[in-house]
């Protein structure tokens, strides 16, 4: 089945965190790189968690640094083992 930008992914909620405006572009980029729908969905779920964390910690997109990504990664690692490659998603 061929993927297209209409059916590649869908989120069940509307998000308004600092990176939410970039979800569509990220999903399309992953699709162009040849990622399968399931992988795109998993990557987007991870980015949504990061977006929620940024919002909860009052981090604006203009203030975002690698330190924020590192702190989030450490937090996630403490709760769950991160799948290979997910850390790179933040950078």
DSSP 10-44: --SS---STTGGGHHHHHHHHHHTT--HHHHHHHH
What was the pLDDT predicted at 6? 47
Query: How do residues 59-80 score in pLDDT, each as one tens digit?
Result: 999 999 999 988 988 888 767 6
Whole-prediction pTM value? Answer: 0.76
Query: How do residues 40-58 score in pLDDT, each as one tens digit?
Result: 888 888 888 899 999 999 9
């Amino acid at each position: 089945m061929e993927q297209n930008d209409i059916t590649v992914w869908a989120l069940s909620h509307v998000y308004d965190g600092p990176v939410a405006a970039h979800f569509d572009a990220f999903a399309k980029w992953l699709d162009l790189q040849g990622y399968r729908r399931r992988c795109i969905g998993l990557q987007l779920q991870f980015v949504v968690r990061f977006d929620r964390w940024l919002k909860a910690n009052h981090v604006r997109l203009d203030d975002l640094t690698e330190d924020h990504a590192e702190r989030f990664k450490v937090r996630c690692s403490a709760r769950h083992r991160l799948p290979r490659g997910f850390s790179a998603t933040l950078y």
